[in-house]
Structure 1
Amino acid sequence: MTEFPIIHTNVWDSIWAVPVIIIVTEIVKKVLPIKPQYVSSIATIIGLLISIFISHPNNLSAGIFMGIFYSAAAIGAYSSLKTSFRAYRNRS
């Protein structure tokens, strides 16, 4: 049985990667006519690109693994902020 790869990551990678993914996704949404169901796929692609080419350039498996986590965190943070903002605006 093969061992799982050891993934060395830095907490600072996720601290800057998540906001960058949210900002770039918003810019892409404003510039290109994208259907809402494809926005999470675009965020995942951006997260994978950041992780594979910037955070983990020498380890493809770590880049893919962490890129999915970065994009999931960005999608969740965006959804949470959007829901909270809508609830705050609609309160009586």
Structure 2
Amino acid sequence: MTEFPVIHTNFWDAVLAVPVIIIVTQLIKIFLPIPRAYIPALASFLGLMMSVFYSHRHNLWAGLFMGFFYGSAAIGSYSSLKTSILAYRNGSGNKKKKTHP
């Protein structure tokens, strides 16, 4: 029976990888005409590449495992931030909803 790989989380994993993926994805969106439907796949690909070739280059399984986390965290963080900003701009958080007609 094989054991799961030991994955050490470091400063790169916790603070830098996700923002770097978000920034690179946004720059690619600006400079290349990529359809919106492919942006999450692009973020996942960038997360995999950064993890396999930089962060966990000595352990392929750890690189693949953490790469999917990097990409997914970047997608979720961007989506959450965008939703929060749009809600703030529309003022939807400040209004009380009527419960009765």
Give the distance between the partners of 1:9 and 1:89, measured in 2 at CA.
36
Deviation at 1:3, TM superposition (A): 1.7
Identity of aligned residues (%): 59
Give the distance between the partners of 2:8 and 2:86, measured in 1 at CA.
38
| Alignment map for 1:14-29 (pairs within 5 Å) | 14=13, 15-29=15-29
Give the distance between the partners of 1:38 and 1:71, measured in 2 at CA.
13
| Alignment map for 1:1-92 (pairs within 5 Å) | 1-10=1-10, 12-14=11-13, 15-91=15-91
Query: Per-residue displacement from partner, 1:65-86 (whole Å, max 9, x unpaired)?
Result: 0010011111110000000000
Q: What's the TM-score once normalised by structure 1's chain length?
A: 0.93
Aligned length, in residue pairs: 91
For structure 2, which runs of at least 5 residues remain unmatched after alignment? 96-101
The two structures, once aligned, show a CA RMSD in angstroms of 1.0
Q: Match of 2:99?
A: none
Q: What's the TM-score once normalised by structure 2's chain length?
A: 0.85
For structure 1, which runs of at least 5 residues remain unmatched after alignment? none
Give the distance between the partners of 1:16 and 1:3, measured in 2 at CA.
28
Give the distance between the partners of 2:9 and 2:59, measured in 1 at CA.
11
Give the distance between the partners of 2:25 and 2:55, measured in 1 at CA.
19
Structure 1 runs (4+) deviating above 6 angstroms are none
Query: Per-residue displacement from partner, 1:14-62 (whole Å, max 9, x unpaired)?
Result: 2101000000000000111111110000001111111111101110000
AA aligned opposite 2:76: G
